[in-house]
Amino acid sequence: MVAIRLQPRASRDQVQGERGGAIAIQLKAPPVDGAANAALLRFVAERLGVNRAAVELVRGSTSRSKWIRVEGWTADQVRAVLLN
């Protein structure tokens, strides 16, 4: 599992780096009706080059602090791709 710190309603979709052990991601999507969660899963899938169904939100559906899992990837592999 990978820790994510999400900032919705940003000016653009991007990875900001690492903060407190979590990957900081900014997304344009608002935190309404799960839009930011869906955008996060799409964003991560696109960055990793995997199918959207391979990315799962494990914890934090109503929080800015989230945990995701990517099928077939280790946490270190996900972190390496997202932070580079």
Give the pLDDT of residue 65.
Answer: 98
Give the pLDDT of residue 61.
Answer: 95
Q: Which residue has the tokens 């800015």?
A: 64
For β-strands 22-26 and 55-59, DSSP reports them as unpaired
Mean pLDDT in consecutive groups of 10 residues from the start of the chain, 84 residues: 97 97 97 96 98 98 97 98 96
d(CA 15, CA 50): 17
Give the pLDDT of residue 71.
Answer: 98
Give the pLDDT of residue 17.
Answer: 97
Give the pLDDT of residue 20.
Answer: 94
Give the pLDDT of residue 23.
Answer: 98
> 2-83: what fold?
Conserved Hypothetical Protein Mth637; Chain: A; (3.30.1200)
Domain positions in the chain are 2-83
* CB 30, CB 37: distance < 8 Å: no
